[in-house]
Amino acid sequence: MVYQKNMRRCLELAATTFGYTAPNPMVGAVVECEGRIIGEGFHRRYGEPHAEVNAIRAVRETELLKHSTLYVNLEPCSHHGKTPPCTDLIIESRIPSVVVGSIDPNPVVAGSGIEKLRKAGVKVTTNVLEEECERLNIRFMTYHRKKRPYVILKWAQTADGYIDVVRDRNTVGRPVWITGWYEQTLVHKWRSQEQAVMVGTNTAMADNPMLNLRRWHGQQPLRVVMDRQLRLPESLNIFDGRQQTLVFTEKNKPETSSGTTFVNVAFDKNLPQRILDELYIRKITSVFIEGGARLLQTFIDAQLWDEARIFKGNAIFEDGLKAPSI
């Protein structure tokens, strides 16, 4: 029970950084000595010290470390990356016992951290609240195990199953809302938790979305848009240069300008996989696909998705663009 209690505290600490650590995982750590927590820490941002380092540094009475147990929801790293290996600091601090929630699937770790600690004489207990630990870092786990980003689909549909009206010159360039203020704000929160937000060509043209955070604090996501024939005008909000935009196209325009990068891909039946392959190379661990219907359905049909978040409104359109079908 003590193991689980302290591991839950690790998860609480880790969850406070949702949206800030990617492509690294969310990690929290606790140092416990004789039933008392003497140090806590978490990985705040990508490139900054890891949770174990912050927890050990938080211990004021350092002589207690040699009598303590370190809890961490993910296996300590054993390699040099943006920061030194956490295993080295644990061993140097003479911490005799470490409790781990889940194994790190990253090939450069993948059990080597635990092995290194054990070889140094550290007692390591693994798989404590493993399911909860893996769920918290499902994006990180998916990225390394499936070699692609974690894919979340989102759309709003009317009571009669439409996601958009039949467009005319009076409705092009602005969204037709099915949801209200609360749901729209929630979407901004969701954007803050993912590394990339994606839309199709027709959605970019019809709604002229900004695909940024305006109703929530956090890191601005990478904007991703499909533009097979490069017919989207540069005046659209997604090309405002305020944040990075990635454009997938068949046309030969590989240069980067004003924060926009063009990637040439074949728009065939393997397009969803090609998109995810490119995002994987760019270390994007999660993508939030907001439309349109054709793009969403393409990922559904390819079975390349992990979550679908669907708003159902009370409006009746009677005609228009049908919602995707799962």
Question: Residues 12, 32, 48, 52: which is the catalytic one?
Answer: 52
Helix (H) or strand (E) holding 294: helix 293-301
Helix (H) or strand (E) holding 56: helix 51-57
Is-catalytic flag, 32?
A: no
Contact between residue 81 and residue 51 where contact means Cβ atoms under 8 Å apart: no
Please provide the DSSP assignment of 141-182 as one string: HHHHHHSS-EEEEEEEE-TTSEEEPPP-TTTTTS---SS-HH
Residue 310 phi, psi dihedral angles, 5° rounding = -120, 120
The interaxial angle of helices 293-301 and 271-281, nearest 10 deg, is 90
Q: How far apart are CA 9 and CA 40, in angstroms?
A: 9
Q: How far apart are CA 28 and CA 65, in angstroms?
A: 18
Pairing of strands 245-249, 222-226: parallel
* Nearest residue to 103 via CA among 143, 73, 148: 73
User: What tokens does 61 get?
Assistant: 């009475």
- DSSP summary character for residue 216: S
- DSSP summary character for residue 198: E
Paired with 99 in beta bridges are 71, 125
Which residues carry out catalysis?
52
